[in-house]
């Protein structure tokens, strides 16, 4: 229990140990710990950023989807409009065509009727002449007209 | 247990409290204290150095984790008390904490085991717990004391240090001698209390272990209880020594 030269030896050992620890033990270990802490902090920050990015991207995607849907609806609407327009146009065109055809038909019929009328008229004249001839033939009674006939025969 | 017929309890205790020493008077060296403390210091430095050499910044191994836990614990203790920049304090605190802890932990080794083993090879005295030797604790405390003086003068200058010792707590110049007396006592009390606290606790603990070893068959449960109690005492004394070292050194850095 008495104080003696032992403490001098222990003090030397103490100083040597502390210096060794200061030079070769403490700096690498604390350096490794701090480097790891920095890495972990960076990793956490990066994951935070990634989560935020993901959220933003999702929002953007949703907005784009909404836009696309609206656009699609617009396109469908326009197509429907165009469809009715085309149908209407086609109907109008068909109507016009029909009227044109009808008109030309009427004209043709008219011409043919006129032609027929003309022919008929000509044939009626011939018939009338023929009829007149027949009538004339019959009305020449032999008795009544015998003198004429006789004269004719006489003249022969 | 060696209280056989020819060895009385008194002799047994006295035997266990005697250091293996060489030399005369002041120039006596306690070979066992020196040997065990240096051995344990080398154990500490070897383990920590092996981890430091291949310190991995990525995923650490198990030993590195354990060492890093201790290093971080010490680092936190230093940072919570000492706010300046000093490359010595943290490694100093680490060395004190682990070294004192290892030396204290020798208290758990059964009191007869090491002395008996050495008796077999012809060495008659062997006190295996270095911190039960006042020389050991005094050496640590004086090491810290010189650092206190060194940093006080380095930070405040000689005049600042002398001013600190003389101008407080009383402001009047006639009371400066009284101040100086009080402050000197305060200053000297620091290493002394450091040394005596550690020595006293461990010496008393060891003494009780030895006393328990003399009571016959009931020593087994008593040893167990006392050893379990030392689960608190051993780390606590190491921690107190380290913390007070940090506190004293941070006081030395403070300007009043």
Distance from CA of A58 to the nearest CA of B (A): 33
Taking the Cβ of residue B237 and every Cβ of chain A, the question of whether any pair is shorter than 8 Å is answered with no
Whether B157 has a pLDDT exceeding 50, the answer reads yes
Of all residues in chain A, the percent with pLDDT exceeding 90 is 66
User: CA A22, CA A109: separation in Å to the nearest integer?
Assistant: 126
CB-based contact, B94 to chain A, within 8 Å: yes
User: CB–CB of B103/B136 below 8 Å?
Assistant: yes
H-helix or E-strand containing B29? strand B29-30
Which residue has better confidence, B226 or B175?
Answer: B226
pLDDT value at B75 more than 90? yes
Put simply, the answer to whether A5 touches B29 (Cβ < 8 Å) is yes
Instruction: Give the β-pairing of B29-30 and B21-22.
Output: antiparallel
pLDDT value of residue B122: 82
Contact A13, B38 (CB under 8 A): yes
Q: In angstroms, what separates the C-alpha of B95 from chain A's closest C-alpha?
A: 6
Residues of A whose CB is below 8 A from B40: none
Residues 42-71 in B contacting A (C-alpha not used; CB under 8 Å): 44-45, 48-49, 51-53, 55-58, 60, 64, 67-68, 71
Nearest to A24 among B21, B49, B130 (CB): B49
Residue in A8, A14, A39 nearest the CB of B57: A39
Q: Which residue stretches of chain A have pLDDT < 70? A: 1, 140-142
Q: What are the chain A neighbours of B41 within 8 Å (beta carbons)?
A: 13, 17
Model pLDDT for residues B165-208, shown as the tens digit of each residue: 888 777 778 888 888 899 899 899 999 999 999 999 999 999 99
Which residue do the tokens 């062997």 mark?
B126
CB B205 within 8 A of CB B233: yes
Has B193 been annotated as catalytic? yes
Known active-site residue B190: no
Residues 6+ apart with CB under 8 A from B124: B20, B118
Residue B1 confidence (pLDDT)? 44
Asked if B184 and B165 touch (Cβ cutoff 8 Å), the reply is: yes
Res B59: pLDDT:
82
Question: Which of A32, A39, A40 to mutate to test binding with chain B, by most B CBs within 10 Å of its CB?
Answer: A32
B81 CB-near residues (< 8 Å, 6+ apart): B243, B246, B247, B250
Asked if B36 and B128 count as a contact pair (C-beta separation under 8 A), the reply is yes
- CA angle B112–B231–B135, rounded 5-degree value: 60
| pLDDT value at residue B3 | 43
Q: Is the pLDDT of residue B5 over 70?
A: no
Q: How does residue B256 score in pLDDT terms, banded at 50, 70 and 90? A: low
Closest residue in chain B to residue A31, using alpha carbons only:
B57
pLDDT, tens digit, 9 for 90 and up, residues B12-71: 888 888 888 888 888 888 888 899 999 999 999 999 999 998 887 778 888 989 999 999
Among partner residues A4, A25, A26, which is closest to B28 by beta-carbon distance?
Answer: A4
The HSE-up count of residue A1 (CA atoms within 13 Å, CB side) is: 11
For residue B171, the model assigns a pLDDT of: 77
């Amino acid at each position: 229990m008495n104080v003696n030269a032992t403490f001098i030896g222990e003090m030397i050992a103490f100083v040597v140990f502390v210096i060794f620890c200061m030079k070769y033990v403490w700096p690498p270990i604390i350096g490794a710990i701090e480097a790891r802490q920095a890495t972990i902090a960076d990793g956490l920050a990066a994951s935070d950023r990634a989560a935020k990015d993901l959220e933003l991207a999702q929002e953007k995607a949703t907005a784009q989807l909404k836009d696309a849907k609206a656009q699609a609806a617009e396109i469908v609407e326009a197509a429907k409009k165009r469809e009715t327009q085309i149908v209407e146009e086609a109907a109008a065109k068909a109507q016009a065509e029909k009227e044109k055809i009808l008109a030309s038909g009427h004209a043709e019929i008219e011409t043919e009727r006129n032609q027929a009328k003309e022919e008929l008229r000509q044939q009626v004249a011939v018939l009338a002449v023929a009829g007149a001839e027949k009538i004339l033939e019959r009305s020449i009674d032999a008795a009544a007209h015998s003198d004429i006939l006789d004269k004719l025969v006489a003249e022969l | 247990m060696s209280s056989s017929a020819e060895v009385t309890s008194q002799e047994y205790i006295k035997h266990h409290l005697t250091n293996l020493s060489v030399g005369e008077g002041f120039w006596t060296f306690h070979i066992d204290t020196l040997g065990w403390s240096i051995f344990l210091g080398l154990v500490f430095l070897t383990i920590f150095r092996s981890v430091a050499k291949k310190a991995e910044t990525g995923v650490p191994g198990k030993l590195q984790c354990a060492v890093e836990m201790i290093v971080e614990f010490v680092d936190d203790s230093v940072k919570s008390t000492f706010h300046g920049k000093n490359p010595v304090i943290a490694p100093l605190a680490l060395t004190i904490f682990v070294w004192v802890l290892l030396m204290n932990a020798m208290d758990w080794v059964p009191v007869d085991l090491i002395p008996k083993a050495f008796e077999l090879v012809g060495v008659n005295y062997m006190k295996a717990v270095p911190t039960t030797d006042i020389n050991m604790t005094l050496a640590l405390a004086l090491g810290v004391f010189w650092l206190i003086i060194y940093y006080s003068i380095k930070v405040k200058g000689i005049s600042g240090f002398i001013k600190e010792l003389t101008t407080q707590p009383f402001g009047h110049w006639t009371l400066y001698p009284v101040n100086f007396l009080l402050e000197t006592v305060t200053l000297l009390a620091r290493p002394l209390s450091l040394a005596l606290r550690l020595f006293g606790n461990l010496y008393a603990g060891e003494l009780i272990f030895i006393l328990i070893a003399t009571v016959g068959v009931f020593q087994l449960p008593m040893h167990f209880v006392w050893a379990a109690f030392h689960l608190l005492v051993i780390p606590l004394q190491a921690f107190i020594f380290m913390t007070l070292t940090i506190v004293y050194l941070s006081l030395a850095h403070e300007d009043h």
